[in-house]
């Protein structure tokens, strides 16, 4: 009963967030100068042509009328038609979303593995040169933004030592048997590890560029929480029980120290998804972010709206997952 | 036969500053089944001795001299991992604050049984039965329910009972009780003290009982050592001590013990002349130690 109420409340706040996002994106992109119709017609088009095309896309109506028409469509699952690509928005967006999600999840996995390993190593060898080295690495990771890491990686592993692909999602010469857009998952499901490997070689650098700053944040915060936890009485008590230091860190300190980091990962993961917009562009990766930049350049209003709504939905779902994980790991929150 | 635990000439200093001692050539020994009280004001080093024995000194403090013999093993000569295993198998700690000494994210059962299973190699089933038996011994009414609880679901007194059960679970031959009742409600203190004494007698455990409360010492301990500035000022049998302490500082400490019948007269600060005398002895000990070093 309590759980049901919590879920309903959660769904209600999520819908409010999404409607808010819809309102903001709709009106803000209309404040920005630029006319999609002007982008579509050749120079020297007649007044008549302009008027006809404007009416065709409903842009002659008042902005509030346009909003009501658009929102009415959204509730029926119709996000309108892309002006530049001349196709319905939703299939376009959903076709690109899996590519971005795979990239973001891969980046998150890299960040958690690297950041977690660095934090644990730093605590195991605290107050030694190893910890200092990790602190320095954290500082470097944090002070260079993801798009700059992307350029550094392209130079290192794309040009000087060309071990990874620097452009695209998969080699264009390959025959693709995929029926979904989740190429990485599907290649594993089909046991096509040749394709999987090719995908990985394309994804690795953009994912690493996105992961490095997040790994540094995770490493820094988790190490700090762990160090504080290592002084607590229950950790000391477990030492007197005969456990070695590795066990004490992983089994006693980590489950409690990880909670603040988990919240942080949730927040930072949404930033990471925001970062995919630039990173996908740099690596010509065919994801939603790359499509978003094209849409903005073309003033493709319906497409921008569709992409932003999908991003907003993604963010609220991620926050929900984080909160659920938090409750699962922290027994004190379970009954609340 | 030699004593079960011998601490011989033990000195500990702030790391990197050997002259700054927190323990000053401390020596004592305890036989099986015997309870030794370590008494002193805050900062006298009484808890530090317990921590040194169990190998859980804070990282800023290190042992610089002396030996600790536990059950015939020289702890100072052992590797850290071996030493921890020996401590885990033969000794146990009853911590000061039951509110912080249990891991908040784990149920009670594994917190009692983990030593039995992981260090001593018991089966999970045997360890569980043992834990239930122990919870019954510490007079917890519904052991099954408590085993499945999280620490935040239990009161302070209950948690201290759980910690006592956990300490005695592996039949330790030595228990270090570090002010086990200080953080508890006065009404619960007495029950917990009786409980510790009960289990100590039944299991014939040697015990180091750290406290600032001479009243507690008179009820629980057979012998005591009074500490000041990390130095043993006086060691004595309990009856003899309460009959008339030998050292001026001990007398002052005893006189400062609050008595409910006469709170005005008994709540006295330790006399300045006595502090000067005992501080002088500490300094003199440091002089001698420096010449030796």
Complex ipTM: 0.89
B49-72 residue pLDDT tens: 999 999 999 989 999 999 999 999
| Nearest Cα residue to A210 out of A100, A307, A93 | A100
Instruction: Name which of B81, B86, B100 is nearest A233 (Cβ-Cβ).
Output: B100
Q: For residue B265, what pLDDT is reported?
A: 67
A240 touches chain B (CB under 8 A): yes
What are the φ and ψ backbone dihedral angles of A305, each rounded to 5 degrees?
Answer: -60, -45
Confidence bin at A336 (pLDDT 50/70/90): very low
Q: What percent of chain B has pLDDT over 70?
A: 96
Q: Which chain A residues touch B97 with a CB distance below 8 Å?
A: 233
Confidence bin at B2 (pLDDT 50/70/90): low
Return all residues near B244 (Cβ < 8 A) that are at least 6 apart: B251
Q: Any idea how long chain B is?
A: 293
B56 touches chain A (CB under 8 A): yes
Cα A145-A147-A148 angle, rounded to 5 deg: 65
pLDDT: which is higher, B8 or B293: B8
A133, A252, B60, B231 from A127: Cα distances, Å = 11, 20, 11, 30
Task: Find the residue in A nearest to B92 (Cα).
Answer: A240
Query: Within 10 A of B1 (CB to CB), how many other CB atoms are there?
Result: 6
Task: Find the residue in A nearest to B56 (Cα).
Answer: A236
A126-153 residue pLDDT tens: 989 999 999 999 999 999 999 999 999 9
Instruction: Name which of B88, B95, B105 is nearest A330 (Cβ-Cβ).
Output: B105
B157-184 residue pLDDT tens: 999 999 999 999 999 999 999 999 888 8
What are the φ and ψ backbone dihedral angles of A183, each rounded to 5 degrees?
Answer: -60, -45
Tell me whether residues A241 and B103 touch, CB distance under 8 A: no
Taking the CA atoms of B253, B258, B263 and B267 in sequence, report the sign of the dihedral they define.
positive
Confidence bin at A56 (pLDDT 50/70/90): confident
Tell me whether residues A243 and B84 touch, CB distance under 8 A: yes
Tell me whether residues A242 and B96 touch, CB distance under 8 A: no
A143, A281, B71 from B213: Cα distances, Å = 54, 71, 29
Instruction: Name which of A233, A241, A332 is nearest B115 (Cβ-Cβ).
Output: A241
Q: For the whole model, what pTM was predicted?
A: 0.86
B96 touches chain A (CB under 8 A): yes
Return all residues near A303 (Cβ < 8 A) that are at least 6 apart: A82, A83, A84, A85, A89, A92, A93, A291, A295
Q: For residue B263, what pLDDT is reported?
A: 67
């Amino acid at each position: 009963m309590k759980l049901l109420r919590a879920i309903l409340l959660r769904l209600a706040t999520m819908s409010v967030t999404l409607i808010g996002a819809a309102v903001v994106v709709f009106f803000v992109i209309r404040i920005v100068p630029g006319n999609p119709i002007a982008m579509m017609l050749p120079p020297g088009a007649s007044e008549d042509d302009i008027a006809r095309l404007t009416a065709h896309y409903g842009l002659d109506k008042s902005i509030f009328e346009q909003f009501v028409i658009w929102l009415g469509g959204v509730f029926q699952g119709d996000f309108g038609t892309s002006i530049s690509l001349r196709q319905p928005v939703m299939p376009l967006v959903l076709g690109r979303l899996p590519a971005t999600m795979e990239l973001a999840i891969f980046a998150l996995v890299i960040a958690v593995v690297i950041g977690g390993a660095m934090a644990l190593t730093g605590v195991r060898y605290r107050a030694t040169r190893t910890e200092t080295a990790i602190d320095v690495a954290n500082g470097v990771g944090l002070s260079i933004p993801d798009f700059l890491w992307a350029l550094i990686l392209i130079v290192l592993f794309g040009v000087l030592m060309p071990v990874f692909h620097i452009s695209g999602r998969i080699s264009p010469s390959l025959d693709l048997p995929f029926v979904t857009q989740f190429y990485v998952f599907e290649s594993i499901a089909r046991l096509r590890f040749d394709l999987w490997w090719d995908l990985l070689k394309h994804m690795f650098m953009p994912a690493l560029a996105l992961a490095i700053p997040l790994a540094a944040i995770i490493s820094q915060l988790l190490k700090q929480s762990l160090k504080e936890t290592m002084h607590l009485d229950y950790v000391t008590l477990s030492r007197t029980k005969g456990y070695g230091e590795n066990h004490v860190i992983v089994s006693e300190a980590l489950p409690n120290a990880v909670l603040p980091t988990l919240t942080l990962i949730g927040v930072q993961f949404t930033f990471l998804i925001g970062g995919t917009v630039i990173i996908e562009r740099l690596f010509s990766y065919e994801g939603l972010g790359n499509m978003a930049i094209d849409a903005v350049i073309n003033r493709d209003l319906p497409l921008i709206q569709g992409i932003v709504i999908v991003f907003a939905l993604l963010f609220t779902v991620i926050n929900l997952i984080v909160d659920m994980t938090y409750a699962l790991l922290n027994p004190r929150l379970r009954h609340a | 036969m030699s004593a079960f635990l011998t601490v011989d000439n033990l000195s500990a200093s702030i790391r990197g500053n050997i002259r700054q001692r927190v323990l000053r050539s401390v020596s004592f020994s305890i036989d099986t089944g015997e309870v030794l009280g370590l008494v002193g004001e805050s900062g006298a080093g009484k808890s530090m001795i317990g921590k040194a024995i169990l190998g859980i000194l804070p990282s800023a403090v290190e042992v610089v001299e002396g030996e600790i013999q536990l059950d015939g093993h020289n702890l100072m000569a052992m590797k850290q991992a071996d030493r921890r295993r020996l401590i885990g198998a033969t000794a146990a700690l009853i911590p000061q604050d039951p509110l912080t000494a249990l891991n908040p994210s784990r149920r009670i059962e594994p917190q009692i049984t983990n030593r039995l299973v992981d260090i001593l190699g018991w089966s999970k089933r045997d360890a569980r039965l043992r834990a239930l038996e122990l919870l019954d011994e510490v007079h917890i009414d519904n052991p099954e329910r408590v085993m499945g609880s999280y620490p935040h679901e239990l009161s302070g007194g209950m948690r201290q009972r759980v910690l006592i059960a956990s300490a005695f679970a592996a039949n330790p031959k030595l228990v270090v009780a570090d002010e086990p009742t200080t953080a508890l409600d006065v009404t619960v203190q007495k029950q917990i003290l009786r409980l510790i004494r009960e289990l100590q007698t039944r299991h014939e455990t040697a015990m180091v009982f750290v406290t600032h409360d001479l009243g507690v010492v008179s009820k629980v301990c057979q012998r005591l050592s009074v500490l000041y500035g990390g130095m043993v000022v006086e060691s004595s049998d309990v009856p003899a001590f309460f009959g008339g302490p030998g050292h001026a500082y001990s007398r002052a400490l005893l006189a400062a013990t609050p008595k409910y019948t006469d709170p005005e007269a008994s709540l006295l600060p330790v006399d300045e002349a006595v502090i000067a005398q005992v501080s002088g002895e500490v300094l003199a000990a440091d002089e001698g130690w420096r010449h030796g070093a």
